[in-house]
Amino acid sequence: MSSKPPRRKIQVRNSGVHGKGVYAVAPIEAGHKIIEYTGERISWQEAQDRHPHDPANPNHTFYFSLDSGEVIDALYGGNNARWINHSCEPNCEAEETDAGRVFIRALRDIEPGEELFYDYGLVLDERYTAKLKKEFACFCGTATCRGTLLAPKR
């Protein structure tokens, strides 16, 4: 009797970091393309018009900003990739193709039971005040946590 590898490599369940999270249910090798971030493609203006998805939690969206200036809104037509949480020490990365598709790829080998994370690296034009950083607080708890989902300004 041969044991077949599981068809699915990931599963959504409650996260100790924030809300729901995505977990490996089978080993994932470094470099493996795990899942595409899908959803409705909209203009930045449409994303602004839809904001916030949840008035009680206005900075929680399923938006993924693209190099083209468009936004993927995973609230509409999104898949399980929308539940991948942020970490300042991620085990995955988001990679945009020339065609504007976004894939989540493993940065290192990931064991079953590990939660998947990528660095959201949010960029805002406004000045990063303490208040703004708190609005985009990070809860990853890693040794190098910068305390915010915002990307460092260079």
Dist. CA 122–CA 42, nearest whole Å: 18
**Measured between alpha carbons, how far is residue 63 from residues 12, 46, 115, 143 in Å?**
18, 11, 20, 27
Secondary structure class of 61 (helix, strand, coil): coil
At 28-84, the pLDDT tens digits run 999 999 999 999 999 999 999 988 777 787 778 899 999 999 999 999 999 999 999
* Between 129 and 52, the higher pLDDT residue: 129
Helix (H, G, I), strand (E, B) or coil at 81: helix
**pTM to 2 decimals?**
0.90
pLDDT value at position 78? 96
CA distance linking residue 35 with residue 80, whole number of Å: 8
CA atoms of 123 and 153, how far apart (whole Å)? 8
